[in-house]
Chain A
């Protein structure tokens, strides 16, 4: 990072962040491109891409007691026993890593299930998990049982065809080698087995699960690496070094496919092809780490992986916080245990107990550097390399300085914040330097760590006063000083030809001007109508002038008593205030006809949503009916014309002489009259109770009958009268 002083772009202090310098250089070049492209969208996108390449600041915490208490809550057992051997192993391993004491009922239940699995003939998968759990629970396995296990696992190895078969059987053999008294457990044809597992690998560093299935995943890569590490440790003789070196190449290729989040965390993820098989980034990354560390432990020689990648992986696991699921918890903790002590490099994490510092309380900056599981780091120094206001690209506000190490608490402390740090949001850049040169090979610290820091303090409010001025002349009518720290009871009066001016100054603890997030003046009328105004500023001076002449319509011409309230607030301000200033008697002219009415004020919610008045339904008053006697009288009157008709008929001398005498026509004639009578009777029933459809049906039948009968009768009558005429 040697800078030549005659280069105008690079004439900046040495403490400037290299990334920021590169950014600035690139930005100068790109700005010309932008001018050329004349605000084309492509140029804008290029600018965004360049800025986003640099990491954002973020805070990571190592494993702490909150993890331990969460583990006890998540890994619950039913009287010590878990649902499966896999879960038993996961619980035991988590407790072991976090240093939680083994509970006797858990151990006893684990031993029971382990001896059960080991005694009977079980699948290699069950044996694998039983032996894994046993490596932690340390139950005794019978000699005969262990012999049986060894022979069945050896058979499984020779008969294996899928990656997982190899994994379980080889893994089981490795575990039983440590646990049983038999010292020599070797693989018959280690190289052959190695090659058959290697056959599952792909050129991009991922591995397949079987020779038939073309799907590959990084999760399978982790499993394969663990298996191969097991093969190497079980081999009776030294394996071909070329195999090991090709495997190291595969690992580098696998790490080339690592993915990245914006905050600098790195992880492995597989493509979501089949939802059933998909593992998720957490378990995939955990599996890869396990495989990598197992392989590094089993082989000699270095595996060249850049320390940044290991640090990125550590940040990925720490960035999760405390997972809520037992399986996720196990993956996180197991991966961190692999990172804690491995042959590749152990990451060191820089963390802060509090990222919010108060200038008022004279907080000091306390930094802790630990391993991922929270154990002590080797001797090192922490330097504060730079501090930048969030989001700005200016030079660093502080010079590079070392933090003092306190042996008692294990913290690196910066006692007083530099004078250049005022209230607000900053990004502090730290650098961790190991003191012993040998530690550089074992630990990795990362080049620079960016941490977001927020600084708060007490803001001084000075020279606050409220004045009533004459609108035209500008002469002061009344003036009072305010003490905005306490409630004021200023009483002013004004009319629409005057102005109100409120002014005050805000000064930060370091003596600079301060612009808060909120600075409002609220005027509330007696009728609860409110008006809010934003107080503007120029530098330190905050001032608002309310010219009532222009505000008459906004105030809805409401004269009367107005309460005044000032609100000044900010996240960095420890003494944000909402204070009543006093009262203002405002005299406004009368509202004209078309003036807008003030909006209706919100009603008390209990009355708005409470029960409403009960509505009694007013039914339509029934029509006035005539008295019953009158109706009956008229009914009688209606019968009269019928009687008159009958009497008239008798007087005219009607007779039945034309009624047919012969039996057949007589019956038809009778039926004809009966039919007519039946139809009329049907009509009476229709009025009384039948409905139209039933009536129509009946009329249909009767009508047909009537037509037939009537035709016979009338044609007979016609024939009879024709005979009479001719005769």
Chain B
């Protein structure tokens, strides 16, 4: 019983520390994280729908899911490039990274719209 209580305490302690550490991240990174979360959530909902009704217009399902996943991936790339603690991208101005993000998203969505059918 003491062991169970301690593991529960450990989990709670871990969770609290993660939460406080995350609170320290800059706001723009938090925005990007939120966007990624939104994209993945949307993808999940589409997968659940497909699981329930079947994959008849399979191309539509694929294009929907891949659009969400694609945009999430691009957002992750943007987060990596914008993060000031990342020494690799020290010389890259964040505006440039954002411009890349916008451009790649537009191309992704053109392809997605073509595949949507």
A and B assemble together: yes
Which A residues lie at the B interface, using CB under 8 A?
Answer: 623-626, 630-631, 634, 637-638, 640-642, 644-645, 648-649, 652-654, 676, 679-680, 683, 686-687, 692, 695, 699, 703, 710-711, 714-715, 717-718, 721
Q: Once the chains bind, are A687 and B93 in contact (CB under 8 Å)?
A: no
Contact partners of A692 in chain B: CB under 8 A: 114
- The 5 A-B pairs at the shortest CB distance, nearest first, are namely A626-B53, A645-B38, A714-B95, A641-B41, A634-B49
Q: Once the chains bind, are B98 and A695 in contact (CB under 8 Å)?
A: no
Q: Once the chains bind, are B109 and A652 in contact (CB under 8 Å)?
A: no
Q: Once the chains bind, are B35 and A638 in contact (CB under 8 Å)?
A: no
Given contacts A676-B102, A714-B96, contact A641 B52 (CB under 8 A): no
Q: Once the chains bind, are A645 and B99 in contact (CB under 8 Å)?
A: no
Contact partners of A686 in chain B: CB under 8 A: 110, 113-114
Please give the distance in Å from B29's CB to the nearest CB on chain A: 10
**A634 to B53 alpha-carbon distance, docked (Å):** 11
- A683 contact from B39, B93, B110, Cβ within 8 A: B110
Please give the distance in Å from A595's CB to the nearest CB on chain B: 54
- A717 contact from B41, B95, B116, Cβ within 8 A: B95
**A641 to B109 alpha-carbon distance, docked (Å):** 19
**Could you give, for residues 12-33 of chain B, a 1 whenever the CB lies within 8 Å of some chain A CB and a 0 otherwise?**
0000000000000001001100
Q: Once the chains bind, are B34 and A649 in contact (CB under 8 Å)?
A: yes
Q: Once the chains bind, are B113 and A652 in contact (CB under 8 Å)?
A: no
For chain B, give the interface size range: 20 to 34
**A710 to B46 alpha-carbon distance, docked (Å):** 33
Which B residues lie at the A interface, using CB under 8 A?
Answer: 27, 30-31, 34-35, 37-39, 41-42, 45-46, 48-49, 52-54, 56, 93, 95-96, 98-99, 102, 106, 109-110, 113-114, 116
- B102 contact from A624, A625, A710, Cβ within 8 A: A710
22 examples of A-B residue contacts, CB within 8 angstroms:
A623-B56, A624-B56, A625-B53, A626-B53, A626-B54, A637-B45, A638-B45, A640-B45, A641-B45, A645-B34, A645-B37, A649-B31, A652-B31, A676-B106, A686-B114, A687-B113, A695-B110, A699-B110, A703-B106, A710-B99, A718-B93, A718-B96
Please give the distance in Å from B11's CB to the nearest CB on chain A: 25
Known: A654-B27, A714-B99. 8 other contacts (CB 8 A): A625-B56, A626-B53, A634-B45, A642-B42, A652-B31, A699-B110, A703-B106, A710-B102
B36's closest neighbor in chain A, by CB?
A645
Contact partners of A718 in chain B: CB under 8 A: 93, 95-96
Please give the distance in Å from A556's CB to the nearest CB on chain B: 56
Please give the distance in Å from B103's CB to the nearest CB on chain A: 8
Contact partners of B46 in chain A: CB under 8 A: 638
Please give the distance in Å from A665's CB to the nearest CB on chain B: 13
Please give the distance in Å from B43's CB to the nearest CB on chain A: 9
- A715 contact from B34, B39, B95, Cβ within 8 A: B95
A630's closest neighbor in chain B, by CB?
B53
**A711 to B30 alpha-carbon distance, docked (Å):** 25
Q: Once the chains bind, are A652 and B30 in contact (CB under 8 Å)?
A: yes
A696's closest neighbor in chain B, by CB?
B110
Please give the distance in Å from A647's CB to the nearest CB on chain B: 10
B39's closest neighbor in chain A, by CB?
A641
A634's closest neighbor in chain B, by CB?
B49
**A593 to B31 alpha-carbon distance, docked (Å):** 83
Interface centre among B39, B96, B99 (most CB of A within 10 A): B99
**A683 to B116 alpha-carbon distance, docked (Å):** 11
